Amino acid sequence: MLTYILKRLGSTIIVLFGASVLVFFMVVHSGDPLSDLRESNDPDAAHQMEQRTQAMNLDQPWYIRYWWWFRGVAGCVTLSCDFGTNRDGQHLNSILANAAQDSLRLVFIATIASIVLGILIGIISAIRQYSLFDYTVSFIVFVFFSLPIFWAAVLGKEWLAIRYNNWMADGSYSWGQMLGISVVLAIALPLIIGGEPLRRVITAGMTFVASVGALWYFDASNFAHEPRLGAVGIIVLSLGLAVGLTALLAGLGNRRVLYTALTVSGLGIVSYYATWELLAEPAGGWFLLLGLFLLTIAICLVLARTMGGYAKGQATAVAVITGMLTSGLILLDHFMYHWPSLLSLKSRPVSTIGSHTRRFTEDDVTFWQVSLDQLTQLWIPTMLLMIVSLATYTRYTRASMLEVARQDYIRTARAKGANERTVVFKHAFRNALIPLATIVAFDFAGLIGGTVIVESIFNWNGMGGVFITGLRNVDPAPVMGFVMITGFVAVIFNFIADIMYAVLDPRIRV
């Protein structure tokens, strides 16, 4: 394994080096960086041309310019990167750091959301093959996949930003809206769950009543302006996750797994109270939240290995997922708690341009207000990128699950009396993930390219803006910064995908 990893790292370096040489050569020869000054009537144009020539080293051959750029980037090995300056003399390190933060945050969230939703929908479609749900999902995901992203962005701005902000001025539901939403849910949920006609009718009726009741409560409690989960919500949802995940992954008859999950849930409820003051204004920001999240996973692993007994594997999966989702609920409650304070500063919370509100400064706003502002700016672009990838994960998961379901070992597992849950999740799903490992790597690289369009539409100062500005100005330094950062991340994801093959299938020897 170590030899294989070293070989892959070596090939990664070679790929990045070859790409950098090719892209630098193409950018340098794509136009004239002095064209705007040659056409200028400014009396000082000649002096400005001389300054730009010296700043960009235009009097040197392209390979000399590349070598000077490469020496700066090679410093990344010792954590002293120097991506040079753009044609205006601005150092690119800080510009690329801010741009990469916005772009990669967008791509990572879109990738994770599309993977989770796509795999879940794909599994259900495979289990319910040729059902009405299967046909409906196939139609919807391909419609999403076919949407021109610039047109979908216009619709997103209109309905998810402008009209949502208009609705937030009042934040109440009319009876027509309550009944309409409830009818849609009453139709959709039975299609997902399936079952006999009587069961579907009962499910639809219960869904309709529960939906109307929930929307009425949200309207009466002014939930749009003052949302909260609260201690009761955390307790109910956390215990529900523990029981539901145990039933799904191990079965409620497996008491060791159930007790482990309930213990994790109980510790999560205790941590909700224990960390309230600590998270009121996190001193370390997202680093503190990340540290607490990793600590949660570590505690869940220890509990699962200690209490799991003969079912350590299932206990580990249930405990970790329960702990992660409970942590997510606690984080969500803190965001809800600070939502009114964001509205006091920004009555129309979702803007149609920019990755954040520029007038927010660290002096007069809190961590939660800044984070909420960034999240409200993030969700429409994230949704656009997500729906493009959703069809890929859904169809590949469905096809892979159906192919695995025809294998002999699946029939053998059923013949031995294994229940359907064990067959689907333990035997079929793990093997179905093998081809998906490669899809994730390629899709991530594709999403990075897609951010160039999305960032242009929403006027984000991300990597896409840096790339387009560099091309327009025939300035290789910004373009090379984009290629190196996004190329490195894309190649690393392909490297991780290769390693995942050996993890998912022990028969593969790298």
More confident residue, 47 or 7: 47
**Per-residue confidence band for 184, with pLDDT thresholds at 50, 70 and 90:** very high
- What is the pLDDT, as a whole number, of residue 506? 66
- What is the pLDDT, as a whole number, of residue 28? 93
Other beta carbons less than 10 A from residue 187's beta carbon: 13
* C-alpha separations of 306 from 249, 264, 336, 391, 457 in Å: 19, 12, 35, 40, 52
- With vertex at residue 389, the alpha carbon angle to CA 387 and CA 394, rounded to the nearest 5 degrees, is 95
Q: What distance, in Å, lies between the first and last C-alpha atoms of the chain?
A: 6
Mean pLDDT lowest among 199-213, 230-244, 284-298, 357-371: 357-371
Mean pLDDT lowest among 289-293, 336-340, 375-379, 434-438: 434-438
* Residue 85 pLDDT > 80: yes
The set of residues, in sequence order, having a beta carbon less than 8 Å from that of 216 and lying 6+ positions away, is 173, 178
* Residue 243 pLDDT > 90: yes
> Which of 436, 437, 427 shows the shortest CA–CA distance to 407?
427
Mean pLDDT lowest among 403-407, 433-437, 475-479: 433-437
- What is the pLDDT, as a whole number, of residue 303? 95
**Per-residue confidence band for 64, with pLDDT thresholds at 50, 70 and 90:** very high
Tell me the C-alpha distance between 284 and 367, whole Å: 10
Other beta carbons less than 10 A from residue 277's beta carbon: 8
Tell me the C-alpha distance between 429 and 119, whole Å: 10
Helix, strand, coil percentages for the chain (3-state, nearest 5): 80, 0, 20
Tell me the C-alpha distance between 290 and 33, whole Å: 44
- With vertex at residue 371, the alpha carbon angle to CA 327 and CA 147, rounded to the nearest 5 degrees, is 90
Give 118-161 pLDDT, tens digit per residue.
999 999 899 888 888 889 888 888 888 888 888 888 888 999 99
**Per-residue confidence band for 508, with pLDDT thresholds at 50, 70 and 90:** low
**Per-residue confidence band for 361, with pLDDT thresholds at 50, 70 and 90:** low
Longest dimension (CA), the chain: 89
More confident residue, 363 or 235: 235
* Residue 165 pLDDT > 90: yes
Locate the domains of the chain by residue range: 172-221
Tell me the C-alpha distance between 322 and 258, whole Å: 11
> Which of 320, 299, 324, 328 shows the shortest CA–CA distance to 257?
320
Residue 309, token pair as written in the block: 């007994």
Give 89-108 pLDDT, tens digit per residue.
888 988 898 888 888 888 88
Mean pLDDT lowest among 100-114, 251-265, 341-355, 445-459: 445-459
Instruction: Work out the percent of the chain whose per-residue pLDDT is above 90.
Output: 40
Residues in the chain, total = 510
Q: What is the mean pLDDT of residues 442-450?
A: 76
More confident residue, 442 or 231: 231
Tell me the C-alpha distance between 105 and 377, whole Å: 12
Q: Hey, what amino acid is at 108?
A: F
Strand, coil or helix: 259: helix
Q: Map tokens 């039933």 to a residue.
A: 247
> Which of 324, 356, 283, 289 shows the shortest CA–CA distance to 106?
356
**Per-residue confidence band for 80, with pLDDT thresholds at 50, 70 and 90:** confident
Tell me the C-alpha distance between 318 and 305, whole Å: 12
Query: Mean pLDDT, the chain, as a whole number?
Result: 88
**Per-residue confidence band for 390, with pLDDT thresholds at 50, 70 and 90:** confident
Other beta carbons less than 10 A from residue 249's beta carbon: 20
**Per-residue confidence band for 253, with pLDDT thresholds at 50, 70 and 90:** confident
- What is the pLDDT, as a whole number, of residue 237? 95
Tell me the C-alpha distance between 447 and 490, whole Å: 10
Q: Hey, what amino acid is at 282?
A: P
Q: Answer whether 103's CB lies under 8 Å from 451's CB.
A: yes
- What is the pLDDT, as a whole number, of residue 177? 92
Q: Is 408 exposed, middle or buried (0-12, 13-18, 19+ CB in 10 A)?
A: exposed
Distance of CA 97 to the CA centre of its chain: 19
* Residue 113 pLDDT > 80: yes
- What is the pLDDT, as a whole number, of residue 176? 93
Q: Answer whether 33's CB lies under 8 Å from 473's CB.
A: yes
**Per-residue confidence band for 310, with pLDDT thresholds at 50, 70 and 90:** confident
- What is the pLDDT, as a whole number, of residue 268? 95
Tell me the C-alpha distance between 70 and 20, whole Å: 9
Tell me the C-alpha distance between 167 and 143, whole Å: 27
Give 462-502 pLDDT, tens digit per residue.
888 889 889 999 999 999 999 888 888 888 888 777 777 76
The set of residues, in sequence order, having a beta carbon less than 8 Å from that of 411 and lying 6+ positions away, is none
- What is the pLDDT, as a whole number, of residue 363? 62
* Residue 362 pLDDT > 70: no
DSSP 91: B
More confident residue, 323 or 309: 323
* Residue 1 pLDDT > 70: no
* Residue 374 pLDDT > 80: yes
Tell me the C-alpha distance between 272 and 326, whole Å: 9
- What is the pLDDT, as a whole number, of residue 295? 96
* Residue 38 pLDDT > 60: yes
Tell me the C-alpha distance between 464 and 462, whole Å: 5
